[in-house]
Amino acid sequence: MLMDTSKQIDRSRAEESILRGRDIVCFSHDWTGDPLSKTHLMRVLSKENRILWVNSIANRKPTASSKDVGRILRKLKSFTESMAEKEPNIFVLSPLSVPAYGSSFIRKFNERLLISQVKGAMKKLGFKEPVNMVFNPAAGLVAGKIGEKELIYYCVDDYTAFTGAAKGLRGIEEDLFRRSDLVIVSAEKLLRDKEKFNANTHIIRHGTDWNHFRTALDADAKVPEEIAGLPRPIIGFHGLLADWVDFELIKKVAEHFSTGSVVLIGKSTVDAEEKIKVLNGVANVHFLGRKRYEQLPAYCKGFDVALNPFVLNELTLAANPLKVREYLAAGLMTVSTDIPEVHQLKDCLVGTDHADFVEKIGAALNSGRKPDEISDGVKHESWEARVEELRKIMAVSRKK
């Protein structure tokens, strides 16, 4: 009995050490972008680990648009800057690579170039036997080749379903799935679609920065002037205005609630430029552009209801929209198109088609739900809780 107790104590100590006191390499989006699931997870992990955050390696072929050209110039500028500690224990590297993977020559060139840059940064930081946590499938080129002790692919989107996905990316990602020690996905559809590549695939749904968005309910929080005087109801959206947003649906919402206001916060992508034109001339649609993450709760305070108006396709059906939990944390009744993952959330109403979506907005506006009750409903879904889920999964995986 004493021996069994000793084993249990040793096992418990081993589990407690998981993702604590480690060096972690994280291949993700650009650090300067809006905080996404990866940002939140790494911020939690940085409290007990050192993070080398590797800025984005392109997943799609760039176009000649001014936005893409501008992004390329910014990437080149950031490459000339030295690695920097952006937050305590988070060091950001901006690598240079060619945004194409179709030919074996370019893939090999990218591989060598990236390995050299990442290993150089690791050496400078004194990283030893790191955990490689990959959020960007293009990083499959170097995964397993930088001296990592563990390889985790944390897949939060069906990346090959994005418009303009780079040729050759699918093969790189499927190889990454197979070679990873552990695969984490954020949606049930991703689990069904991807576990065929790796039996050690598990689901961890997104969390929310609850404390941040809860400030929308603070008595002293002020609604920004640019929306404070708009006609109500104010029907709001924040996020990327990309081609997976249903702009035709937004137009119908604006026309139905013609005495109210539709507020769209976020930058638009190249792929959405033509589709977004359907909103030209719709007087009660207000484009406010991108706002800083710190400002979003104040804007949410000014909304009467929030929207997740995604088109339904392979990309969105596998999505777990982070914004929905953020709206709820801010105390907002939310209406979404029929994305499977939002069915998990009590105060998110789901429209089965355009007419039903508009009807659900009316139901949300008249729900009678108190904002603090809506917010409390997702309080337990913190990013700290999601990191603990990851630790438990890793502990079980190591025992196998």
What lies within 8 Å, CB to CB, of 40 at 6+ separation is 207, 209, 383
What lies within 8 Å, CB to CB, of 96 at 6+ separation is 75, 76, 79, 113, 117
The whole-model pTM stands at 0.89
Overall size of the chain counted in residues: 400
CATH H superfamily, domain 210-376: Glycogen Phosphorylase B; (3.40.50.2000)
Residue with tokens 């020559």: 105
Domains 2-207+382-399 and 210-376 share a fold: yes
By CB atoms closer than 10 A (0-12, 13-18, 19+), residue 193 is middle
Query: 2-207+382-399 architecture in CATH?
Result: 3-Layer(aba) Sandwich (3.40)
What lies within 8 Å, CB to CB, of 381 at 6+ separation is 205, 206, 207, 208, 210, 325
Domain range annotation of the chain: 2-207+382-399, 210-376
Confidence at residue 202, expressed as pLDDT on a 0 to 100 scale: 98
Question: Around Cβ 69, how many Cβ atoms within 10 Å?
Answer: 12
Q: What is the mean pLDDT of each run of 10 residues along the chain (400 residues)?
A: 54 75 96 94 98 82 43 43 90 82 72 92 96 95 94 96 88 96 98 97 97 97 97 98 98 98 96 96 97 98 98 97 98 98 97 98 98 98 97 87
Confidence at residue 7, expressed as pLDDT on a 0 to 100 scale: 54
CA distances from 397 to 182, 282, 332 (A): 8, 53, 38
Tokens at residue 185, please? Answer: 């996905």
